């Protein structure tokens, strides 16, 4: 299926989407929809979305969606999967939800190798609440709460897949894609769904755009994504670190 086509599992009866013009969320959701179509998983999918702009995805698809509390999307997906192991559970969240308020859940699911697929949209800010600093805000980046640029004393920006590589089991799937390359992102999400079908934990971070809170033009939005974010957060698959078990 072409990346230009509309996913079959897209809900054509829902109202027009509410993402801002230039937002990357819709592109990540499209990559997910195409991956679900290609694997023929529409009837088995259950989708849990976080608070944050990810909640605007609640009526995007034809498969069931559950709206969770902020940061609690992963445990909800784990619960759904444990109750109905034949379901394919997708947890969809922002960087604030996954790397800040919900970080312990992400780590716990990775450590246990819960067979779910987590997709995290990294747009470097808490977008829905007005663009405050997130764990992923780049050094020097201006946000609502770092008007002079993020300073070193706030810590180093969090690299999710690389950090999880230290704790996951070898069969887990970890990757970082970008909305600048939808075919690659779709392949990563496909692999993440396949890994869940094999009984393993899978996590894909997607570098994404938020022109509203970045206050950028179309050209500057793309330049920030491609020239700043992608240099700090390198797209690609990330191997689990070898560990000595005694």
Place of tokens 């969606």: 65
User: In the beta sheet, which residues pair with residue 90?
Assistant: 47, 117
> Which DSSP string do the residues of 37-49 spell out, in sequence order?
HHHT-TTTEEEEE
| Binding of residue 75 to ligand TPP (CB under 6 A) | no
| Binding of residue 54 to ligand TPP (CB under 6 A) | yes
| Binding of residue 207 to ligand SF4 (CB under 6 A) | no
**Residue 125 and residue 141: Cα distance in Å, rounded?**
10
3-class SS of residue 30: helix
Q: How far is the CB of 29 from ligand SF4 (least distance, A)?
A: 11
Q: Which does 129 bind (CB under 5 to 8 A by kind): ligand TPP, ligand SF4, Mg ion, none?
A: ligand TPP
Given candidates 121, 179, 182, 192, which one binds ligand TPP under the rule CB under 6 A?
Answer: 121
Given candidates 68, 113, 122, 123, which one binds ligand SF4 under the rule CB under 6 A?
Answer: 123
Half-sphere exposure of 50 (CA within 13 A, CB side): 32
Q: How far is the CB of 134 from Mg ion (least distance, A)?
A: 5
List Cβ neighbours of 234 (8 Å cut-off, separation of 6 or more).
Answer: 176
Strands (E), 51-116: 65-67, 88-94
Given candidates 7, 33, 75, 94, which one binds Mg ion under the rule CB under 5 A?
Answer: 94
Which spans of this chain sit near ligand SF4 (rule: CB under 6 A)? 19-20, 23, 25, 53, 123, 127-128, 210-213
Which spans of this chain sit near Mg ion (rule: CB under 5 A)? 94-95, 123, 127
């Amino acid at each position: 299926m072409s990346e230009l086509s509309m996913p079959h599992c897209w809900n054509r009866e829902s109202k027009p989407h509410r993402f801002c013009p230039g937002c990357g969320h819709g592109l990540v959701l499209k990559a997910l929809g195409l991956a679900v179509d290609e694997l023929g998983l529409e009837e088995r999918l259950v989708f849990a979305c976080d608070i944050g702009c990810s909640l605007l995805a609640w009526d995007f698809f034809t498969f069931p969606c559950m709206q969770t509390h902020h940061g609690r999307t992963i445990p909800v997906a784990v619960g759904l999967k444990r109750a109905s192991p034949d379901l394919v559970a997708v947890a969809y969240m922002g960087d604030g939800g996954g790397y800040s308020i919900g970080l312990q859940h992400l780590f716990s699911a990775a450590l246990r190798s819960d067979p779910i697929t987590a997709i995290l949209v990294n747009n470097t800010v808490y977008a829905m609440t007005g663009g405050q600093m997130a764990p992923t805000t780049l050094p020097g980046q201006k946000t609502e709460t770092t008007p002079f640029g993020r300073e070193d004393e706030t810590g180093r920006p969090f690299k999710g897949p690389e950090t999880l590589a230290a704790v996951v089991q070898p069969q887990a799937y970890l990757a970082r894609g970008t909305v600048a390359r939808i075919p690659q992102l779709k392949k990563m999400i496909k692999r993440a769904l396949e890994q869940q079908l094999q009984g393993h934990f899978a996590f894909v971070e997607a570098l994404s755009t938020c022109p509203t809170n970045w206050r950028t033009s179309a050209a500057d939005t793309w330049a920030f994504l491609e020239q700043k974010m992608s240099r700090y957060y390198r797209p690609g698959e990330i191997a689990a670190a070898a560990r000595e078990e005694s």
